[in-house]
Amino acid sequence: MGVTKAYMIVYNVVEAACWAGVLGLGLKHAAMCATTGQPLWQGLYAAAGDLLFCVQWSATLEVLHALLGLVKAPFFTTFVQVLSRVGIASVLYLYPASRATPGFFMLLVAWSLTEVVRYSYYALHVAGREPYPLLWLRYSTFLVLYPTGVAGELQVCWALRQYLGPDGVFFGVLPAGYAILFIICVVYPVGFFQLFTYMWSQRSKSLRAAGKKSTQPKGTQPTKKKN
């Protein structure tokens, strides 16, 4: 096994484990809220926010992986997706008022489930194993989790309006605060549509290829066309 392959397996296993930790802490907090009756987002950052912040920032390595050709993922798509996630994680870290919304719990669960499946799939894929149930989850859960995550992210962004001054100045520095929020709320859905349609095309290709592979008798090689 080469160094690059070993590194990618370790990276994906560690990321999957960290996101499983975020999910576990979030669900543990939700169970506590169910017994106490407090809102889900109250105390959620203290329970799981720091780990979420760190593991999301570690995903910036994926941009480097795409740039260096260590993975087949397109660089621009990877860059935009990671940038948006890191931006939201940074907002949650820097501005406590952004956490006081159901969207925080929504994105935590959606991000965590998505990444546990994704990194687990990548780790096994690099190792030469590709169980169909995990492949199906990788290219099917996004149908529910992506819209849920984006809805949560938009709620977090909209909560930033609390930092608008009476004159519309953002954070006491940036003018036209409502315009900035409007742009965020318009641009985000556009980016979501592009990512969603990309994943839909990948789903069709991957599940179709897996179906052909499963129907091919073991020990046979695909036939090649003669020139």
CA 165 to chain centroid, in Å, comes to 32
Longest dimension (CA), the chain: 74
How far is residue 164's CA from residue 176's CA, in Å, rounded to a whole number? 9
146 catalytic? Reply is yes
Instruction: Pick the catalytic residue from 15, 62, 115, 153.
Output: 153
What tokens appear for 212 in the block?
A: 């052909």
Residues 6+ apart with CB under 8 A from 103: 151, 152, 153, 154, 155, 156, 159
Contact 62, 73 (CB under 8 A): yes
CA dihedral over 203, 116, 104, 85, signed as positive or negative: negative
Instruction: Pick the catalytic residue from 95, 146, 163, 188.
Output: 146
Provide the annotated active-site residues.
146, 153
